[in-house]
Structure formats: C-alpha cells, structure tokens
C-alpha cells in the first residue's frame, strides 16, 4: 500500500498542574502518493503537533501513521522536513547544506556533487554555491532548505510554515517555486500554513482544523494548485471561485477564533 495514512491520531499530554491537553483527537487523513495537502487552522489547533507526529518527532497517544505500508516510529530520511527558518547549518556552505542528506548516507562524492548541482539549478542558486548560508537573504535561505530536503529524495515532504517569515513578494515567488517542484518531482507534500491564500494556492487538498481538541473541521478538494502550475499565481487569485472559497474559510476561522475568545472570557 503506497501513500501516507494518518489513522485516528490522538494526542493528549498532561500538564504539570494535573490537567491535560487534548492537542489532537481522531485525526484521519489518507494521502495518495503525489498529493499536495495544505493544513490550515487557527493557532492552537494542533497542526504543528500533527506534522511533528508525521515526522516522527512525537509519539501519538493513540492511532498510527503508516507510510508505504510501514508504521512510523521515529524520524527518517523518507520524510523530509522544511522548517520556517533557522534550520540551515550556518557552519556549512550552501553546497554542503544541500548535500547534507547524501553525505549522511555516505554517497560517493561525484554522485553527490551531481545531485547538488542539479538542485541548485532548480532553485536558482548555482551562483551562491560556495557562499555561507548566513550571507543569503531569507528567501534564498528557504530555497536552500527546499533543495536540501529534495536532495535526500524523500517520499513525503513536510513543510512547517516554510514561507511564513518571508516578505509578501518573495513569498509569492516561493509559492510558485513550491508548485513547480511539486509538479516536477511528484512528491507527496503536506504544508502547514496560517495564510488562507497560501493554503488555497498550494493545496490540491485543503484541511481546515478546529481547536480544542485539535480535529479536522472541513476538507476541500481544490483546482487552484493545478491551475497555478500552468499560469501566473496572480491570475489564479482573480478566479471568482478562489475569492469565494477564501471568504468562506476566513469566515470559518473567524468564527473559531470568536468561539475561543468567548470561551476564555467565560472561564
């Protein structure tokens, strides 16, 4: 069985004061290979917890993750991660960062150099190969992070708000790059974001999560990612369906936030 199955995942942990938090409750998602899923939700809905469980950094209290028929029990090279920022190794050059995964596997130098060169071409950083990563701008750093992840040939790419810290223009360019990489490599991608627009653009499927306990609230199948592959993202945003869905989701999240606020005030 290929693809990624998230099966009735629950996560509950105890706090020092004796109470407990239900971060996730019965979350099930079935992802086919090559699907692009974006996960959206107000803060505290457990989307980062979900991603950390899929990555294998956290063990769920209930349920399981199965990737290509194998149960996930810890971090592994078949699930690559792209973080928001600061996850590059600043003691290594751009080239060494991108080649980190192959190096860990003990790949031969020539083969590794070929992979690194190819990916630096793909993300457009060939000229910055020998630079230190701290000399690059935020957008370039995220390109390095994407390339580093791809160099390891993972089956699934997990992105934890990878574009969250970028300015609006850079962000738009990077969204285009993510779509391009998705189409070219055919990877399964899970993208966590709190930008509704980004979730719509970069989600073939989109899951809206609700908080307390963290659970799936709505699920959409969207045409925009497919559209974005072939045309300008700004054109996609002009589509009336895009605006309609965006307003719908914004209203949904707005209601959730209101509810949280109300509950906190009553408590």
Which residues, 6+ apart, have CB-to-CB distance to 101 below 8 Å?
77, 80, 148, 149, 151, 152
Indicate the residue among 79 and 95 with the shorter CB distance to other proteins. Answer: 79
Asked if 84 interacts with other proteins (CB under 8 A), we say yes
**In whole angstroms, how large is the CA radius of gyration of the chain?**
19
Under rule CB under 8 A, which residues in 138-157 are in contact with other proteins?
145, 148-149, 152, 154
Using the contact rule CB under 8 A, the part of the chain among 7-15, 83-91, 177-185, 210-218 near other proteins is 83-91
Please state whether beta strands 215-221 and 188-192 pair in parallel, antiparallel, or not at all (unpaired): unpaired
Using the contact rule CB under 8 A, the part of the chain among 10-18, 85-93, 115-123, 213-221 near other proteins is 85-93
* Dihedral angle of Cα 133, 181, 165, 256, to the nearest 10 degrees: -150
Asked if 13 interacts with other proteins (CB under 8 A), we say no
Name which position in 21, 113, 132, 165 contacts other proteins (CB under 8 A).
132
Name which position in 4, 40, 55, 181 contacts other proteins (CB under 8 A).
55
Q: How far is the CB of 101 from other proteins (least distance, A)?
A: 4
Name which position in 4, 40, 41, 100 contacts other proteins (CB under 8 A).
100
From the list 113, 111, 108, the residue with the least C-alpha distance to 126 is 113
Q: Determine the Cα–Cα distance for residues 226 and 242; give it in Å rounded to an integer.
A: 13
From the list 177, 175, 185, 124, the residue with the least C-alpha distance to 150 is 185
Q: How far is the CB of 148 from other proteins (least distance, A)?
A: 7
Indicate the residue among 90 and 184 with the shorter CB distance to other proteins. Answer: 90
Number of residues that make up the chain? 267
Provide the 3-class DSSP secondary structure of residue 99: coil
């Amino acid at each position: 069985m290929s693809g990624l199955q998230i099966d009735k995942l629950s996560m509950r942990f105890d706090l020092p004061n004796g109470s407990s938090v239900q971060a996730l409750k019965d979350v099930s998602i079935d992802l086919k290979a090559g699907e692009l899923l974006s996960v959206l939700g107000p803060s505290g809905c457990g989307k980062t917890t979900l991603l950390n469980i899929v990555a294998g950094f956290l063990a769920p209290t209930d349920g399981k993750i199965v990737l290509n028929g194998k149960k996930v029990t810890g971090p592994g090279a078949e699930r690559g991660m792209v973080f928001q920022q600061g996850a590059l190794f600043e003691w290594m050059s751009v080239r060494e960062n991108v080649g980190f995964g192959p190096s860990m596997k003990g790949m031969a130098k020539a083969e590794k150099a070929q992979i690194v060169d190819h990916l630096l071409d793909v993300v457009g950083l060939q000229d910055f190969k020998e630079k230190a990563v701290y000399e690059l701008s935020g957008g370039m750093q995220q390109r390095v992070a994407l390339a580093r992840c791809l160099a390891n040939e993972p089956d699934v790419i997990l992105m934890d708000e990878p574009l969250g810290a970028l300015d609006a223009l850079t962000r738009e360019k990077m969204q285009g790059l993510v779509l391009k990489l998705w189409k070219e490599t055919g990877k399964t991608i899970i993208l966590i974001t709190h930008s509704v627009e980004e979730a719509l653009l970069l989600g073939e499927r989109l899951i809206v999560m609700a908080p307390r306990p963290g659970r799936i609230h709505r699920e959409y199948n969207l045409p925009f990612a497919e559209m974005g592959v072939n045309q300008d993202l700004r054109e996609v945003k002009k589509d009336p369906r895009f605006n309609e869905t965006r307003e719908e989701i914004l209203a949904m999240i707005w209601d959730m936030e209101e509810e949280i606020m109300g509950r906190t005030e009553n408590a």
